[in-house]
């Protein structure tokens, strides 16, 4: 069934087009009539008169453009849904939504940007990201370091990088604790993360609430005999400056022990797809933080929530579907003409919020608006719970 707003939009555009075509035809008829009269006056030359009441083709076309523009403007005004779930498309609007709508099935999506404050570099930030600092490994493509075939032939570059990726004393950030706060208040349905640092669980979030789409280094597996190793084992190995590539300790086995993270040529966990089907239809608020939304299929998850569900991006720059969205300044984003012409943007113009800045600053500001700031600060001060088991 067609969206009523889309029907209105197309109807107005069609009406404007018909009116313009009629105007063109009228102009042509007037021009022909004028020519007939001119030819009837033998020997009398009649020049174009700028003040003549007969419109030229240029005038008719200009009238057509103006008419279509006006129709699109009126359609854009009507196309914005009056029943937006947010009072304002800013952080305050999200806070109000949480207070008044009381969502109980919030889904969080996060990437490497939420862990940079913990001392773990992200991958794509120019100059400082991991991909910008791999020249010493002489790689054709920086992403080869996470390619399984390349790893099997030459594991040393990955384990040099692993010493940076998995520091021993890394601590969760305020962003990690904010998600734990959501769980504590019974609002968190699932935390889908691209990160492999296990800081979600270290912050105290229930392991069952965390879906590590790309695996984690909480466990490792021998590629040859499939023997499992725990986090303490791989951490001790990586913390030893005299050791690099870990090998299996099982008698008679010399296989490489690889952390259980997903490399580019490996399939994502089956549970990841199960959770998508299970969780996203129930989602009543989507919070996206610290990700470039470039790696698929993770990036496409933002489109899995219902078209009326608010989506919040806390990030240093607009990414993915949030590109082109007005930044968090309050009010409603105007629908762009192309969105009206093609029926796009009507369902999304009032549900997306982009808050530019560091994730930690964003969650602290949101916590303050919700009246959670003192509780969150206390949780951060207490640090990770001692009972956390990875």
Q: Please tell me whether 341 is known to bind a ligand.
A: no
Asked whether residue 283 is marked as a ligand-binding residue, the answer is no
Q: Tell whether 51 and 156 lie within a shared domain.
A: no
Q: What is the dihedral of CA 366, 368, 374, 379, to 10 degrees?
A: 10
Which one has a higher pLDDT value, 5 or 17? 17
**In this model, does residue 16 exceed pLDDT 60?**
no
pLDDT at 197 (0 to 100): 87
Same domain, 153 and 280: yes
Q: Final residue of a domain: which of 79, 110, 129?
A: 79
Taking the mean position of all CA atoms in its chain, how far away is CA 234? 32
Q: Answer whether residue 85 is part of any domain.
A: no
What values do phi and psi take at 247, rounded to 5?
A: -115, 155
Domain count for the chain, please give it: 2
pLDDT level of residue 330 (50, 70, 90 thresholds)? very low
**Percent share of the chain, pLDDT over 90:** 45
Name the average pLDDT for the chain: 78
Distance CA 29, CA 88 (A): 52
What share of the chain in percent tops pLDDT 70? 67
Give the per-residue pLDDT at 355: 95
Indicate whether 355 belongs to any domain.
Answer: yes
Residues 194 and 227 in one domain: yes
Q: Average of pLDDT values for 25-47?
A: 43
Whether residues 194 and 258 share a domain: the answer is yes
| Residue 100 is assigned to a structural domain of this protein | yes
Top pLDDT among 101 and 216 is at 101
Structure confidence by residue, pLDDT tens digits, 83-139:
678 999 999 999 999 999 999 999 999 998 999 888 887 665 665 556 655 666 667
Catalytic residue, chosen from 176, 214, 348, 355, is: 214
Q: Are residues 178 and 232 in the same domain?
A: yes
Indicate the pLDDT class of residue 40, thresholds 50, 70 and 90: very low
Which span out of 111-115, 278-282, 335-339 was modeled with the highest average pLDDT? 278-282
Shared domain check, 291 and 342: yes
Q: Please tell me which of 138-152, 231-245, 360-374 the model is most confident about, judged by mean pLDDT.
A: 360-374
The CATH number of whichever domain residue 307 belongs to comes to 3.40.50.1220
Same domain? 254 vs 359 = yes
Domain limits for position 150 = 91-382
**Residue 374: inside a domain:** yes
Looking at residue 161, its pLDDT comes to 82
Domain identity same for 20 and 156: no
Q: How many Å apart are CA 8 and CA 27, to the nearest integer?
A: 29
Q: What is residue 210's predicted lDDT score, i.e. its pLDDT?
A: 96
Q: Which of 96-110, 151-165, 271-285 has the lowest mean pLDDT?
A: 151-165
Q: Tell me which of 336 and 245 has the higher pLDDT.
A: 245
End-of-domain residue from the set 37, 54, 79: 79
Domain presence at residue 388: no
Position 325 confidence tier, pLDDT thresholds 50, 70, 90: low
Per-residue pLDDT at 211:
96
More confident residue, 323 or 101: 101
The answer on 8 and 154 residing in a single domain is: no
pLDDT tens figures, 54-84:
667 677 667 776 776 666 655 544 444 446 7
52 vs 4, 36, 42, 44, 143, CA distance in Å?
43, 16, 21, 18, 69
Domain finish residue from 27, 55, 79: 79
- pLDDT exceeds 80 at position 311: yes
Q: Name the least confident of 142-146, 165-169, 342-346, 357-361.
A: 342-346
Render pLDDT for 199-209 as a digit per residue (tens, 0 to 9).
998 899 999 99
CB 335 within 8 A of CB 349: yes
- The pLDDT of residue 324 is above 70: no
Q: Per the annotation, does 222 bind a ligand?
A: yes
Active site residue 176: no
CA–CA gap between residue 358 and residue 122 (Å, rounded):
13
Domain membership flag for residue 86: no
Q: Are residues 223 and 315 in the same domain?
A: yes
In this prediction, residue 334 has a pLDDT band, given cuts at 50, 70 and 90, of very low
Q: Is residue 55 part of a domain?
A: yes
Instruction: Compute the half-sphere exposure of residue 287: CA atoms within 13 Å on the CB side of its CA.
Output: 27
Task: Specify the pLDDT at position 244.
Answer: 92
Residue 49 — very low, low, confident or very high, per pLDDT cuts 50/70/90? very low
Regarding whether 190 and 61 lie in a shared domain, the answer is no
Q: Look up residue 158 and give its two tokens.
A: 């990955």
Strand 352-356 and strand 257-261: pairing? unpaired
Residue with the bigger pLDDT between 347 and 189: it is 189
Give dist(CA 117, CA 171) in Å, integer. Answer: 9
DSSP label of 164: H
Separation CA 355–CA 91 (nearest Å)? 7
In a domain, 387, yes or no: no
Does 145 lie in the same domain as 31?
Answer: no
**Predicted local distance difference test score (pLDDT) of residue 340:** 32
Residue 229 pLDDT exceeds 50: yes
């Amino acid at each position: 069934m067609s969206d009523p707003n889309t029907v209105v939009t197309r109807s107005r555009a069609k009406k404007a087009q018909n009116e313009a075509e009629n105007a063109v035809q009228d102009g042509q008829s007037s021009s022909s009539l004028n020519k007939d009269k001119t030819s009837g006056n033998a020997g009398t030359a009649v020049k174009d008169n700028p003040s003549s009441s007969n419109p030229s083709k240029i005038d008719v076309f200009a009238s057509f453009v103006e008419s279509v523009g006006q129709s699109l403007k009126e359609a854009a005004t009507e196309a914005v849904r009056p029943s937006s779930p947010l009072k304002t498309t800013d952080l305050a609007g999200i806070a109000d939504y949480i207070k008044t709508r009381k969502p109980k099935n919030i889904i969080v999506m996060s990437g490497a940007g939420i862990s940079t404050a913990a001392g773990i570099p992200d991958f794509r930030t120019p100059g400082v990201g991991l991909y910008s600092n791999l020249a010493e490994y002489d790689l054709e493509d920086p992403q080869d370091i996470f390619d399984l075939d390349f790893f099997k032939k030459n594991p040393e570059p990955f384990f040099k990088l692993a010493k940076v990726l998995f520091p021993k004393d890394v601590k969760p950030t305020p962003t990690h604790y904010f998600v734990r706060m959501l769980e504590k208040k019974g609002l968190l349905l699932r935390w889908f993360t691209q990160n492999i640092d296990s800081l979600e669980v270290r912050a105290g979030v229930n392991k069952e609430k965390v879906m590590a789409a790309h695996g984690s280094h909480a466990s490792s597996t021998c590629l040859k005999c499939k023997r499992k190793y725990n986090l303490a084992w791989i951490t001790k190995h990586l913390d030893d400056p005299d050791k690099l590539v870990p090998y299996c300790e099982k008698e008679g086995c010399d296989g490489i022990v690889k952390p259980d993270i997903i490399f580019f040529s490996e399939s994502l966990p089956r549970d990841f797809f199960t959770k998508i089907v299970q969780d996203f239809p129930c989602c009543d608020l989507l919070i996206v933080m610290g990700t470039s939304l470039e790696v698929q299929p993770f990036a496409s998850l933002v489109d899995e929530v219902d078209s009326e569900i608010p989506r919040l991006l806390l990030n240093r720059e607009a990414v993915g579907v949030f590109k082109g969205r007005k930044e968090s300044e309050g009010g409603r984003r105007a629908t762009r003409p192309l969105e009206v012409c093609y029926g796009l943007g009507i369902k999304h113009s009032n549900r997306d919020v982009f808050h530019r800045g560091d994730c930690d600053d964003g969650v602290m500001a949101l916590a303050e608006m919700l009246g959670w700031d003192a509780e969150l600060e206390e949780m951060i001060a207490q640090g990770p719970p001692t009972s956390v088991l990875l």
